Amino acid sequence: MIECVRKTASAILLAALSGAACAAASFPALDRPAVQVKAPERQVLLAAAQAGTRVVAVGERGLVVLSDDAGASWRQARAVPVSTTLTAVSFRSAQLGWAVGHGGVVLHTRDGGDTWTRQADGASLARARCRPQNRRCARRPAVTRRSGR
């Protein structure tokens, strides 16, 4: 389980720092909460994870759906602060979980997926990396490739 959390954390950082920062600067879906839909189980879902006995699935437009009966019925999460596509979800325990998606978004839940808060997105990570006090960002030399010949 810890290895899964580590892999997810690595994927989060890689996605957030690899170009998502530029796209997130003008990405209005980061500022729009997920829309409530009538049949959440019939929407496009891209990933799922176990949160105790609950199944939590994520997908397009910030959709997070929950099932407490092994998938027999589904309901939508009460609060998701973004409407970007969510591509991965992972839980450390029945209550504590993270979801990541387009625009470098990182969401966090402490209640098994009912409500989510934004921990970061590509734009906020880029701002944090390039603050004036972070001199490495301003002085970083261009990367050059050396030929092995």
Domains of the chain (ranges, CATH numbers): 2-139 (2.40.10.500)
pLDDT-based confidence at residue 21 (cuts at 50, 70, 90): very low
User: Given pLDDT bands bounded at 50, 70 and 90, which one contains residue 18?
Assistant: very low
Would you mind telling me the total number of residues written for the chain in this entry? 149
Token pair of 148 as six digits: 């092995």
* Alpha helices, DSSP H, located in 18-132: 20-24, 122-129
Distances (CA, A) of 94 to 57, 77, 79: 14, 15, 18
pLDDT of residue 26: 61
pLDDT in tens, 52-109: 999 999 999 999 999 999 999 999 999 999 999 999 999 999 999 999 999 999 999 9
Judge contact between 145 and 127, C-beta under 8 A. Answer: no
